[in-house]
Every structure is written in structure tokens, then in C-alpha cells.
Amino acid sequence: MTGPTELAERFGTPSYVYDLDRVAAARDDLFAALPDEVELFYAAKANPHPDLLRELRSGGARGCRAEISSVGELDAVLEAGFAGERILYTGPGKTGAELTEALTRGVRLFSTESPGDLRRVGETALRLGLTADCLIRVNNADGAAATSIRMTGVPSQFGFDSETLPGLAAELRDVPGTSIAGLHFFPLSNAKDEASLIAEFRHTIAAAADLQHTLGVPFRFLDIGGGFAAPYAVRGERPVFGELRAALADALDEHFPGWREGAPRVACESGRYLVADSGTLLTTVVNVKDSRDHRYVVLDAGINTFGGMSGLGRIMPVSVEPHQSAGAVGTPASLAGPLCTPGDLLGRNVVLPDVAPGELLTVPNAGAYGPTASLLMFLGRPAPAEIVVRGDELVSVSRIEHTRTYEHGQAL
């Protein structure tokens, strides 16, 4: 059996359960929402678990490529079977050492964030006798979807400010060791609705066409970003986009008439949408405490287990449900973790039935930004178990282990 109670009893809590059938469904739904010619990158930062990576890579011609931003993610995606030519390396702080590692292991496509970043890629490629295909990441001055989480239009370490590109065109075309392959956009995250998503893609495609003329380089590759929404740690169903496919095709036909023949190849990217609804966090109530008219439900899972990138200083909305029947609806409570810090909170004023120590709770839609986006090593508590299932079949159980290695004559 692979139900929450059986898995919690067998492997303990806190633990994550990922269902590969849900991963495959999300991958297939998103590919179905895109024109057949559009490729799809999976942002490994959302969840780099090897079983999930392998599932997203599978699917033949409609399998995902990998988008990474570290050597650790490079290790993960290569181990999961992604070939170097199927990887896009991104990030604002790519060092010479990691660029050397990536190029040596077959990566040839890089998103670059600034003239200095582009030059660093080129210098590293030249030392290795290679040429790196580079995308110019664009920080657009404006956008179309005013109701979503904007990722551009403000000062940022990400991307070339779009208004500076005309003056940089000649310089960018002539960086030794590089070949400008095209552009990379990521203008918004978690679009409010499909209309917002479509509007942003249309704006991005039009901006890309203008920049192709400005840069004087025929693009071979165009990454138009993502923004595909999905519920995260709250109740809800992952949306299916019914209008996107035709809208994207129309916009690309207008601005890049050769795209269906690969001039340029076009890609989108996604993280949360592809894995969020595959995961459930299992956690046990350790204690229930009332303090000055405020209730705290203390769990064995905290920001070290489900931080939601807790270093950003924000508390994500979280839905918690008792797995078994519980008493009547009780007092709104703060969900506290086990860590010795007042910052260890998963939610405030969360309404749930009255619970008691020892009761198993579940957090839905928790397949993205779990252990590796948490304060995993803080206070030295063990990492949660990660349990992978496919329907009723148990696929694997693993746990991230923390180890320290020594140099200068000490054993490694």
C-alpha cells in the first residue's frame, strides 16, 4: 500500500510523497498546450529529484529539456540521462570554474545576463577550444500582464536592460568564443490566468522580433519563458490551458514566419507547473500549545523541511489537512515547526479541525520547492524522506545526507 498512513508508519515523518503519474500528466498537459514545434525546459531548481527528472525527460520527442544554474544541478540532470546538448545553463554568477565544468561535460547553450557574463563564457570557451552558443537574457522595460508576479521592468541582476541593447549590439556580436544564438525572456511568474499568460507571451514575441532587427543577428533559438501557474501548498487543481496553443502559433507566425521550420527554434520553460501537484508533504503534530489567546500547532516539519525558499523572509499560504477524521473546526492557529527559532512558521491563522499530538497531517501540491528550497541544514535535523510512487507502486525512498569533507591531508 502507498497511502499516506502506511507510508508514514513505514518511513516516518516528515516525508514527501511524489507520484510520477502526476508528473507525467503535468508534462503531457503542458506539451499539449504548446504548438508541436515548441520545446520545453524543466527548471531543475523546482525539484531536482532524479526520479522526477527522469520522468520529465521521458516522453520521446515531447520530453523536457533541462534548465540549470549550478554544477550541482548539472550533476543531477546528467545522472538522470539528459545529454549536454539538451541543457540550458543560466544564472547571473557563473564562475570560470563552473563554466569549464559545464562546457567540458557537453553543455553548449548558455543564457547570459550582462556583457561581463557573456565575456566570461567566451573566455572559458576559448581556453577549451570551443564556441558557446549564447542567449541574451532580456530585462524588458515593460510587460503586458499587470496582474501577475513581474520578473522584469525593474533594476535586476537578471538580464540585459532592453533599452541598452541597441548600443551594445556590435559589442555583443564580437565576443570571442561565443555565438549569439538568440534571446531568453522570463518576464513573469505564476500568471494570474490564461489571458494574462497569453498577453505576456504575445508581448515577448513582438519584443523579440524588434530586438532581432536591432541586434542584426538571425536568431537560431528563442526562449520565451514561462509563468505557468499551479497551486503551491494549497488546495486546488493544476490548470489546463485551452487557448494557449493557437495564440502562441498566431503570434509566432506573425513575427517569426520561419519558426515552424526551426528558424528560430522556440522554447518555453516551467518548474512549479510540472511538479507541484505530484507532491504531498506528510507531517505529524508534535504538540498543541495555547499562548496568550493564540494557538500554536507544532509540527515535525518546519522551514528546514518546507521552507518555500524561506530565506526570502516570506510565509507562503499553506493548506494542512488531517489525514484521518478529526474533531470540530477549532481555533485558527499558527503552524510552527520544531526548530529553535521564532521564524520557524509555515503559516499563520490557519483554520483546521482540532488536532492532537501524534496526528498525521498532509500538505497538498507540495512537489515544488521542497527540501532543496528549505533551510535543510539549519540546526542539524535530518532531511525529510522523499518517497516516490507511481500510482500504487513504490518506486524509491531516499534521504539527502549532510556530510563534511576535509582537505589539506585529511581524508576525503
Q: What cell does 23 get?
A: 508528473
What pLDDT sits at residue 156? 64
pLDDT tens track for 170-206: 899 999 999 999 999 988 878 889 999 999 999 999 9
How many Å apart are CA 300 and CA 411, to the nearest integer?
Answer: 34
CATH class entry, domain 33-270: alpha beta
What per-residue confidence (pLDDT) applies to 405?
83
The pLDDT of residue 348 = 87
Rounded CA separation 356/287 (Å): 7
**Angstrom distance (rounded) from CA 379 to CA 41:** 35
Which residues lie across from 287 on neighbouring strands?
A: 298
Fold of 277-399: Lyase, Ornithine Decarboxylase; Chain A, domain 1 (2.40.37)
What confidence tens digit (pLDDT) does each residue in 336-376 have?
A: 999 999 889 888 888 888 899 999 999 999 999 999 999 88
| Domain positions in the chain | 33-270, 277-399
SS3 2: coil
C-alpha cell at 233: 501548498
Task: Report the SS3 class of residue 266.
Answer: strand
**Burial grade of 100 (CB within 10 A; 0-12, 13-18, 19 or more):** middle
Distance from C-alpha of 139 to C-alpha of 150, rounded to nearest angstrom: 11
pLDDT at 324: 58
Beta bridge partners, 134, equal: 110, 180
Alpha helices (H) along 58-179: 71-79, 96-104, 115-127, 165-173
- Helix, strand and coil content of the chain, in percent to the nearest 5, comes to 35, 25, 45
Question: In the chain, which residues have pLDDT < 50?
Answer: 143-145, 147-148, 150, 153, 155, 311-313, 325
Closest CA to 107 of 76, 137, 83: 83
Q: Which amino acid is at 371?
A: P
132: helix, strand or coil: strand
